[in-house]
């Protein structure tokens, strides 16, 4: 029987944490609420999962619960990296060449003990130990215990050699990761005592409580009200966004020298002269010679950066293209506009889902899904994927808070208020053509009323700066290690099926249920890169990122993925350097090197 990912769990956790609608609430970081995860649209057969893949499912489920949602994409990516590494370390004790990332070969077992049963037991105790530490909620721990029992292991008895190896490897990693700068335990004196609380002292430049007087930098990030047009005191006000893990760029990476190793060049500034300043409330610019001029379109190209204006107008154009009549001018007409909406919906992955890095862990499960699941294939794969998203999160968040860059929704609204974009109406306000809200289609609206195409009623944008795109980096990093690991960019499923797809029936929209799409639409990906690129551009369709945030995020992700793959090969090959090119295929030239057997290769 085939099941959706989030239904592959015990009755206890389903009853306690996931009602039939799968509606969950974020409890710590104030992330947007999602009623359905993208990966529930694609089936995964629980009978075709290795033990490693089953533990990945446990992690994806845990992150999707109210407790797990508090981690955000940063904490989630770290959890996936820790799980993949713990399982790898336990497994490596039975392999001749691979060596542990934390304990080296100190627990190396005899070749006669290299059995699937021993490795499954060691891997399970490692996974159980790490997940129980990361998700100490009693209901989640109960789910992990149930998984252990279903696999034939006693979670309270780690006295066998294999169990002891798994627990020891996991605890060694936990000792390391408890001091990696994430503040998982909330014990850093620079934090506020809560798990994962900020230790950097970050304070946002802007706030949304008294616009325009509270916007001090138009190209800086603003923590928005939720909903965006409901300030404190408004009966509809839920909360003000709180910056998610500003300290994350200082977390110890798996493969990178630091979070800033691949920091991209700066995004487009609002002003051309770095020594000039803008007073948005007064509507003036003070030039470096102390001349004060009134802000107007005439200053674009003189004082105001035309590239900043252009990238914002591009976001507005994408918004307008989601519905007729603007969608009618697209190559695919209205269907193309509806496809863009579904792409934005499918890849959103906010709170209540495994977040973007979890979608790629799930894709890894699809790549390994087979009638004869192979632990010796899956362990190195999830070792790569988990650390790819871990390091992508660290590198991306380093850039995000280094540049503290504005989200498109605030840029559109502020540029519209200043009449630097759009067309001025009879009242002196500037109007744009854009998506006007659920079931409203594309209309002429005030630029100051611009909305993102995201979960209705939720956060207008994620609670952290724009540059660069996390979706783009997570996806590109994962796609890169999948490409190098399998030896091909082709998205081949475990059963040999080429490509992956998901079909939406008329009315299946999550943001506009019953309203769209008006016809059957299928999203499909024949290559890993194609899926990653779509994940990236989905954020432009949704009005969440600028083009540079997407494109430079993809580049960052590919760079991270390449570093991660090289580092995993270092450990897989007994902590020996691997010559270029750093692919598994290249290892055929190395006598005694570890080779994965899924693609017709085997260990020697």
Q: Where are the domains of the chain?
A: 1-270+305-565
Beta-carbon contacts of 570 under 8 Å, excluding residues fewer than 6 positions away, are: 576, 577, 578
Give residue for tokens 């138009």: 218
Does position 9 have pLDDT exceeding 50, yes or no?
A: no
Mind listing the pLDDT tens digit for each residue in 216-246? 999 999 999 999 999 899 999 999 999 999 9
**583 has pLDDT over 60:** no
How many CB atoms are closer than 10 A to CB 286? 17
Of the given ranges (316-330, 377-391, 582-596), which has the lowest mean pLDDT?
A: 582-596
The residue among 199, 189, 567, 564 whose CA lies nearest residue 393 is: 564
Class of domain 1-270+305-565: mainly alpha
Report the alpha-carbon distance of residue 198 to residue 243 in Å, rounded: 9
Report the pLDDT averaged over residues 594-602: 36
Select from 587, 594, 553, 598 the least CA-distant residue to 573: 594
Looking at residue 212, its pLDDT comes to: 86
Residues 373-383 as b/e (b if ≥16 CB within 10 A, e otherwise) read: bbbbbbbbbbb
Q: Judge whether residue 604 has pLDDT over 50.
A: no
22 pLDDT higher than 50: no
pLDDT in tens, 502-520: 999 999 999 999 999 999 9
Has residue 588 got a pLDDT over 60?
Answer: no
What is the C-alpha end-to-end distance of the chain, expressed in Å? 37
Check residue 40 and give its pLDDT: 65
Q: For residue 576, what pLDDT band results from cuts at 50, 70 and 90? A: confident
- pLDDT score of 457: 83
Whether 5 shows a pLDDT value over 80: the answer reads no
Q: At 535, is the secondary structure helix, strand, or coil?
A: helix
Cis peptide before 325 (omega within 30 of 0): yes
pLDDT for the residue numbered 577: 58
The pLDDT of residue 39 is 60
pLDDT, average across residues 430-445 = 97
Q: Is the Cβ–Cβ distance between 241 and 223 less than 8 Å? A: yes
CA nearest to 467, candidates 555, 362, 562: 555
More confident residue, 595 or 94: 94
The first and second tokens of residue 9, run together, are 């769990």
Read off the pLDDT of residues 373-404 as tens digits, 9 standing for 90 and up.
Answer: 999 999 999 999 999 999 999 999 999 999 99
Rounded distance between C-alpha atoms, residue 89 and residue 202, angstroms: 35
Percent of the chain at pLDDT > 70 equals 89
What average pLDDT does range 135-146 have in this prediction? 97
| Tokens coding 477 | 């990093």
With vertex at residue 326, the alpha carbon angle to CA 322 and CA 330, rounded to the nearest 5 degrees, is 80
| Per-residue pLDDT reduced to its tens digit, 266-275 | 999 999 999 9
Report the chain's mean pLDDT, rounded to a whole number.
90
At 124, which helix (H) or strand (E)? helix 116-134
- Kindly tell me if the per-residue pLDDT of 594 is higher than 50: no
Angle between helices 306-320 and 547-572 (to 10 degrees): 90
Taking the C-alpha atoms of residue 540 and residue 555, their distance in angstroms, rounded to an integer, is: 16
Rounded to whole angstroms, how far apart are CA atoms 568 and 101?
A: 9
Rounded mean pLDDT, 480-493: 97
pLDDT at 7: 36
The DSSP bridge partners found for residue 500 are 525
Q: Which residue has the higher pLDDT, 11 or 413?
A: 413
pLDDT greater than 80 at residue 370:
yes
Spatial separation of the C-alpha atoms in residues 172 and 157, rounded to whole Å: 19
**What is the C-alpha to C-alpha distance for residues 433 and 319, in angstroms, rounded to an integer?**
8
Whose CA is closest to 469, among 556, 568, 365?
556
Sequence-separated (6 or more) residues with CB below 8 Å from residue 532: 472, 475, 476, 478, 479, 554, 557
Q: What is the pLDDT of residue 550?
A: 99
- pLDDT at position 598 over 50: no
Residue 262 pLDDT level (bands cut at 50, 70, 90): very high
pLDDT given at position 4 = 35
Check whether 160 has a pLDDT greater than 80.
yes
Q: Stretch 139-161: mean pLDDT, rounded?
A: 96
For residues 368 and 485, the answer to whether their CB atoms sit within 8 Å is no
pLDDT at 445: 98
Nearest to 569 by CA among 545, 593, 541, 591: 593
pLDDT at position 168, please? 98
pLDDT 10s digits, 62-114: 999 999 999 999 999 999 999 999 999 999 999 999 999 999 999 999 999 99
Whether the per-residue pLDDT at 337 is higher than 80: the answer is: yes
Rounded to the nearest angstrom, the gap between the alpha carbon of residue 359 and the centroid of all alpha carbons in its chain is: 8
Rounded Cα distance, 411 and 360, in Å: 30
pLDDT at 210: 87
The pLDDT tens digits for 33-54 are 343 444 667 889 989 999 999 9
């Amino acid at each position: 029987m085939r099941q959706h990912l989030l239904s592959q769990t015990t009755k206890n956790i389903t009853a306690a944490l996931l009602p039939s609608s799968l509606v969950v609430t974020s409890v710590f970081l104030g992330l947007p609420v999602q009623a359905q995860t993208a990966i529930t649209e694609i089936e995964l057969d629980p009978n075709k999962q290795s033990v490693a893949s089953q533990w990945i499912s446990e992690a994806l489920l845990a992150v999707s619960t109210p407790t797990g949602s508090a981690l955000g994409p940063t904490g989630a990516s770290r959890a996936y990296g820790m799980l993949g590494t713990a399982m790898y370390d336990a497994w490596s004790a039975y392999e001749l060449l691979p060596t542990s990332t934390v304990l080296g070969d100190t627990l190396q077992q005899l070749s006669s003990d290299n059995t699937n049963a021993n490795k499954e037991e060691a891997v399970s105790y490692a996974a159980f130990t790490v997940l129980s530490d990361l998700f100490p909620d009693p209901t989640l721990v109960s789910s992990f215990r149930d998984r252990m029992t279903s696999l034939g292991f006693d979670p309270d008895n780690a006295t066998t050699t294999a169990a002891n190896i798994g627990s020891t490897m996991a605890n060694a990693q936990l000792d390391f990761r408890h001091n990696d700068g994430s503040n998982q335990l909330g014990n850093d004196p620079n934090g506020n005592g809560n798990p994962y609380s900020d230790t950097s002292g970050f304070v946002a430049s802007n706030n949304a409580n008294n616009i325009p007087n509270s916007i001090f930098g138009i190209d800086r990030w603003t923590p928005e009200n939720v909903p965006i047009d409901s300030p404190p005191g408004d009966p509809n006000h839920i909360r003000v966004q709180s910056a998610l893990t500003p300290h994350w760029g200082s977390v110890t990476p798996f493969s990178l020298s630091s979070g800033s190793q691949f920091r991209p060049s700066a995004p487009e500034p609002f002003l051309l002269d770095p020594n000039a300043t803008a007073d948005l409330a007064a509507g003036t610019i003070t030039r470096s010679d102390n001349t004060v001029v009134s802000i107007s379109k005439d200053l674009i190209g003189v004082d105001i950066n035309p590239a900043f204006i252009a990238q914002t107008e591009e976001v507005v154009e994408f918004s307008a293209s989601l519905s007729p009549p603007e969608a009618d001018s697209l190559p695919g007409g209205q269907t193309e506009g509806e496809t863009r909406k579904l792409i934005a919906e499918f890849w959103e992955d906010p709170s209540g889902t495994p977040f973007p890095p979890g979608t790629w862990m799930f894709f890894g499960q699809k790549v390994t899904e087979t009638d004869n699941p192979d632990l010796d294939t899956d362990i190195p794969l999830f070792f790569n994927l988990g650390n790819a998203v871990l390091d992508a999160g660290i590198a991306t968040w380093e850039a995000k808070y280094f540049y503290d860059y504005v989200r498109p929704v605030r840029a559109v609204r502020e540029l519209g208020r200043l009449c630097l974009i759009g067309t001025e109406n009879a009242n002196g306000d500037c109007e744009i053509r854009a998506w006007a809200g659920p079931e409203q289609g594309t209309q002429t609206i005030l630029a100051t009323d611009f909305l993102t195409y995201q979960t209705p009623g939720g956060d207008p944008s994620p609670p952290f700066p724009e540059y660069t795109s996390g979706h783009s980096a997570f996806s590109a990093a994962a796609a890169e290690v999948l490409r190098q690991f399998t030896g091909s960019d082709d998205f081949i499923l475990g059963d040999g099926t080429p490509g992956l797809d998901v079909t939406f029936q008329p009315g299946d929209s999550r943001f506009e249920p019953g309203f769209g799409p008006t016809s059957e639409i299928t999203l499909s990906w024949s290559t890993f890169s194609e899926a990653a690129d779509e994940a990236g551009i989905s954020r432009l369709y949704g009005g969440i990122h600028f083009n540079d945030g997407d494109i430079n995020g993809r580049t960052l992700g590919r760079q991270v993925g390449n570093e991660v793959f090289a580092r995993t090969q270092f450990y897989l090959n007994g902590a020996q350097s691997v010559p270029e090119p750093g692919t598994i295929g290249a290892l055929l030239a190395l006598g005694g090197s570890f080779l994965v057997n899924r693609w017709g290769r085997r260990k020697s």
